[in-house]
Amino acid sequence: MFNIARNELHRLFLSPLAWVILALSQLLLAYLFLTHMDYFNSIQSRISAIPGAPGVTELIAMPLLSNAAIIALLISPLLTMRTFAEERRNETLPLLSSAPLSMFDIVIGKFFGTLAFFLLMTLLTVLMISSLAIGTTLDFYQLSSGVLGLILLVASFSAVGIYMSSLTRQPTIAAISTFAILFLFWIIDWASHSTTEFSLFSWLSLLKHFEPMMQGQINTQDISYFLLIIFAFLLLTVRRLDRERLD
């Protein structure tokens, strides 16, 4: 399983696409980081006398993590589209399936290999935020809650993307369908604003469970939701590939 994860991560970085995505995402996050800092400096004199006024964590760190989540939503289809679709297109999936590993180990290995890329992106973002601790005080509890939320969110993105990649032999189709599914899960709670009848839509929303963690609220309901999404789509991938192996 760990060999599969290492090979998947190695294969990602053999492609210029992964390097370009990592470089551009960090460049964009750095620009947004400076933008949030500039905004904070412009209003600091006005909010400094207000009791309980938001600080750098609320006005710089959390918005940057939210920006990272949106960027991850956009790039995850590009990173996951080749996990199984390219194996099928290159006729190497039967060779991979014949390895002395269970299909569960193969899928989990692919998942952790892809997730490692997002963890690297998250680490670089956290290091950017942590630089603020040199000159100010950060709320590390809220920051930890936000980082946990971002990790669970990108893990969900990876699981969905890997499943969609297992359904086709065309990476482009996998990328488009992954983005469609993720975007639907992102905005599905908009329907619940019109009437309380659609509370199920609110529960299904990724954003609805991500936002409380950005505010420093760690709820077992939100963590359970993300874990359910991850395990459900990974299980669907295993079942899909197991059927193909038997055929």
Query: Domain boundaries in the chain?
Result: 2-246
Count of H helices and E strands in the chain?
12, 0
Q: Is the pLDDT of residue 57 over 60?
A: yes
Q: How many CB atoms lie within 10 A of CB 193?
A: 10
Percent of the residues in the chain that have a pLDDT greater than 70, as a whole number: 95
Longest dimension (CA), the chain: 70
Instruction: Say if residue 218 is exposed, middle or buried (CB neighbours under 10 Å; 0-12, 13-18, 19+).
Output: middle
Split at pLDDT 50, 70, 90, the class of 8 is confident
Give the DSSP letter of residue 82: T
Closest to 87 measured CA to CA, from 76, 98, 73, 102: 98
Q: Kindly report whether the global pTM for this prediction surpasses the value 0.85.
A: yes
Q: What is the pLDDT of residue 247?
A: 61
Q: For residues 198 and 243, which has the higher predicted lDDT (pLDDT)?
A: 243
Q: For residues 98 and 58, which has the higher predicted lDDT (pLDDT)?
A: 58
Q: Is the pLDDT of residue 147 over 90?
A: yes
Q: Is the pLDDT of residue 246 over 90?
A: no
Q: Is the pLDDT of residue 77 over 90?
A: yes
Q: Give mean pLDDT, residues 215-237.
A: 94
